[in-house]
Each structure stands twice: as C-alpha cells, then as structure tokens.
Amino acid sequence: MTTSTQTDAPLPTHTDATGSSMATPAPVSASLTSSPLNSDAREVVDPITNWDGFSFDTRQVHVGEYADENCGARIPPLTLSAGYVFDSFDDGAARFNGGSREPIYSRQGNPTNAVAEQRLASLEGGTACVAVSSGQAAISAALFALAEAGEHIVSTASIYGGTRILLGRSFRRMGIEVDYVWDTDSDEAWDAVIRPETKAIFTETIPNPRNDVVDIARIAAVARRHGIPLVVDNTVATPYLIRPFEHGADIVVHSTTKFLSGHGAGVSGAIVDGGTFDWAASSRRYPLLTDSLRPGLPSLLDRFGPAAFAQYVREAVVNDVGPALSPFNGFLLHQGIETLSLRMERHVDNSRAIAHWLEEQPEVEVVDYAGLPSSPLHDIAQQYYNGRTGSVFAVTVRGGIEGARAFTNGLRVFSRMTGIGDTRSMVLHPLTTTHASFAPDLNARLGITAGMLRLSVGIEALDDLLLDLRGGLDRVAGIL
Ligand SMILES: Cc1ncc(COP(=O)(O)O)c(C=O)c1O
C-alpha cells in the first residue's frame, strides 16, 4: 500500500437527487440568467447526502454533514440536549421498541456525535460507528461486548500501557482473562493461548510507544481460522495510513482524542464495526447478537445485519455502562477530522526526517521507527505503510535514566506530557510514567528501558524541531 492510495477511491458516478451526474456537471441552469427577483425561476439544489465513492480527502470534510433547517448553518450544529421529544405516545413506544431510529436520549446517541460517527465509519470503510467518551471507553466497550466473565481475550504483547493496565486490572476483576502473544508471526504461539472461551483477539496497528508494527493480515488469518473477531486499535495510524478492515480486521477502535481530533482539546473515542464478521457462523457463540434479546423482537443480527455489533455496543454496553461522549467533544472531533490527511502528511514527513537524523546522532543509542531501513520491521513497514509508520516512536539516548532526564529537560518546543497525536510535539519517559506500575522484567521484555523516550512528533517546522532535539542531545552530551 502506498500513501497515494489514500485518494484512490473511484470517481463518483452516482447521481444526485436531481438526477444529474456528479462526474459531469450539468449545463449552467437557465435560472442563473433569469432575474434573481423572479423567485419562481430560482433552482433549489439538493445537498449531497451520500458521499460514497468520493475520495478520502473529500469524505473527511463532508460525510455526516446535514442541512440545517433552522438557518442553513454550514457547520453541523452543536446539539446540546440530553433528550429528544417524542412526537406522540406511540412514537415514544416505537423508539423504545425498535420501531423507530429517532434518538431517545444522548447516552445512546446525539446528532452532533452522529456526524463524527458517520465520518469515521466512512474513512475506515466500516458499516457503523459508535462514539464514546474516551479511547479507553472504546476499548472497554468493544471487548466487553464480546467477552463476559469466564471468557478470555488474546492480545499482542506490545500495546499501549493503559490498555495493558485496563486488561490486567478491570477486565480481570470482571472475570475476563487475558493472554499475550509475543511472537506475533508464529501460528504456534497464537494456537498455544487461544482456547474455547477466547472471544476476541486484540492488537494495535502501530503500537504505542515503540512503533513495532504488526503484520495485520497474518493476525487476521489466525482470528479467521479460530472463528474469533479481530479488534484493532488504529489510533496511531488512523485510517489515513491504514484501514484495518482491508486487511481482515473485524472491529476498529480509536482514541479519537489523538490524531483524529488533532487539536488535543478534548478526550473521545470510537468503535467502528467492519460488518465483516460472521457472528452466526462462528463456532464460538455470540448470543447477544444472534439471539432475540426480548420475546417478540428479532435478533440484532436480523435487524441490523452487518451493523449489528455496533448496535449492540450502542444499545447495550454504552447505554448500560454510560461512557457517552459529550456532544461538545463530538463537535470538536468532527471539526478535527476535516484536516486529518493534511496533518498526517506533515506528522509523517517530520517523523521520518527526525528518525533518520536521530539515528545519526552520537548521543543516541537506538531509534525504534519501523520505517527506517535499519529496523527489523522494515519489510512490514514497507508492505503496509510504504515506510510511513506514523509519528509516535521511541528514541533511546545514552546515559540511562540520567541521559533521559537531561534530554527531556533540554527540550523546549516538545512538551513534556502524556499524550500523543495532536499538532504539538510531545515527549514522555515511559519507564517512570505510563509503565511505572509494571514489573521490571515485563518492562525489560517490552523494551521499555531507562534511556528510552517516546516522541509524538507534531506539525511544527522541521528545522525548529531538529534544533530543539539538538538542544536536548547537547544536554545528554554534557552528562556523558
Ligand atoms: C493506542 C492508544 N489507545 C488508546 C488510548 C486511550 O485513549 P484515551 O486517552 O482517549 O482514553 C491511548 C492513549 O494514549 C492510546 O495511545
């Protein structure tokens, strides 16, 4: 896959509501030459509501927008309302009993959040999306929808530290066990831990913090062979760099706090249903999707088909547990998504240049960026990302923890903080922060060492970032 394929969607061939081809503009309307005061002659042009077939760059701007009937506001309005008025007694009953898809209450859905949901579903190539209050909420909701007490999840070992804590603490408390696979290319390693109770496989496309990309199609083949859905955290890559459904994933989750929003102004998350998993055919049972949840009501699979999983997450998990997204943050999210491709280009250009430069510096021990020719993961990086493996990666400086301290304190443009994926560059020392609660041997196995720093490279000018990093490395040189 090359990044140029981001805009390779077929030319739009569908027709708009007036029947004119979208690819060949209709002749200039006679109404343009008639008197603007003659209202009878004014043409009303229906808005495009179906953006299928348009390019990624166009869809990130438009999908989900709707015509504001109040004043024609160009930006989909921010609907700050907890609930929605029923048209009548019967309408209320219909909304609660599957007879209407109109909103009920903002814990299940909100028109502002729906804009972000439709936009992200389109960019990922999924059937439906549910926006939630954080990335952690998205991972929790997706996995909790699949597994219950007494069941089991298998994950790749190198994942975001917060997810490892979530699985090892809260999921364990709920009776859901987790096993990790270290050698993700080994079928035997997967087969050794997958059991009859295993209900999901979890991985990250570009793992945070070490950029140790996985062969997603290979893991999808394992999941398919065992009849288990593959859940992929695509936060760091975003659908601009890779769309996991195209490589066999079934469900995608995001911390939309990060690149999708891009501004770092709000926390949010999302679950996208690929519509690819055959719930009814799996040897593992997913009765919440395949069986009727109430007498007289068809199953979610019967009612929602390829979007049944998303509907289950919305209706049952998110509605029950309550991690609803504030529409204010939903608004910030759909505004952010509009510029995703532009920001990602700059993030990745800066990161590649910085990774190459860092590798040449005498104060640097190693740079973990899969896109570098020196990386053992270079082949996977080329195959899936054309070497452009995002902008979150690790650099290990000489001097151990003292080197890491000197480097961090020597930076001024890079913010010292936890967080990734917004416009600003950020630096973090995982061993003393995100990974501080892990046993030393686990951190050693994960490659989280004393001198290792996580960088999230922003969209500032490359020269300024290089100068800043040089300042940090000069401090390292001073203590060696
Ligand atoms: C890969 C990944 N997934 C999930 C999360 C959690 O997201 P949030 O902070 O929005 O809860 C993070 C946060 O850093 C992350 O990096």
Ligand 1, atom 7, residue with closest C-alpha: 135
Rounded to whole angstroms, the Cα distance separating 163 from 151 reads: 18
Rounded to whole angstroms, the Cα distance separating 128 from 151 reads: 26
pLDDT at 370: 98
Q: Is the CB of 422 under 6 A from ligand 1?
A: no
C-alpha 439 – ligand 1 centre gap (Å): 21
Q: Is the CB of 135 under 6 A from ligand 1?
A: yes
Residues of CATH 3.40.640.10 domain(s) within the chain? Answer: 89-337
C-alpha 186 – ligand 1 centre gap (Å): 27
From residue 29, alpha-carbon distances to 47, 48, 99, 253 in Å are 16, 18, 42, 45
Q: Is the CB of 267 under 6 A from ligand 1?
A: yes
**Mean pLDDT per segment of 10 residues, for the chain of length 480 residues?**
37 35 37 53 86 97 92 93 96 89 93 98 98 98 98 98 97 98 97 98 97 98 97 98 98 98 98 97 92 89 96 95 98 98 98 98 98 98 98 98 98 98 98 97 98 98 98 98
C-alpha 379 – ligand 1 centre gap (Å): 26
From residue 394, alpha-carbon distances to 101, 151, 211, 420 in Å are 46, 34, 7, 12
C-alpha 108 – ligand 1 centre gap (Å): 22
Tell me which of 3.40.640.10, 3.30.930.10, 1.20.1300.10, 3.30.70.270 is the CATH number of domain 89-337.
Answer: 3.40.640.10
CATH 3.30.70.20 assigned to domain 340-479? The reply is no
pTM here is: 0.92
Rounded to whole angstroms, the Cα distance separating 303 from 315 reads: 13
Residues of CATH 3.90.1150.10 domain(s) within the chain? Answer: 340-479
pLDDT tens digits, 185-233: 999 999 999 999 999 999 999 999 999 999 999 999 999 999 999 999 9
Q: What is the DSSP letter of 227?
A: T
Rounded to whole angstroms, the Cα distance separating 346 from 329 reads: 24
Pocket probe mutation, ligand 1, options 257, 260, 268, 333, max atoms within 8 Å of Cβ: 257
C-alpha 161 – ligand 1 centre gap (Å): 9
Q: Is the CB of 160 under 6 A from ligand 1?
A: yes
Contacting residues for 386 by C-beta, under 8 A, at least 6 apart: 1, 2, 3
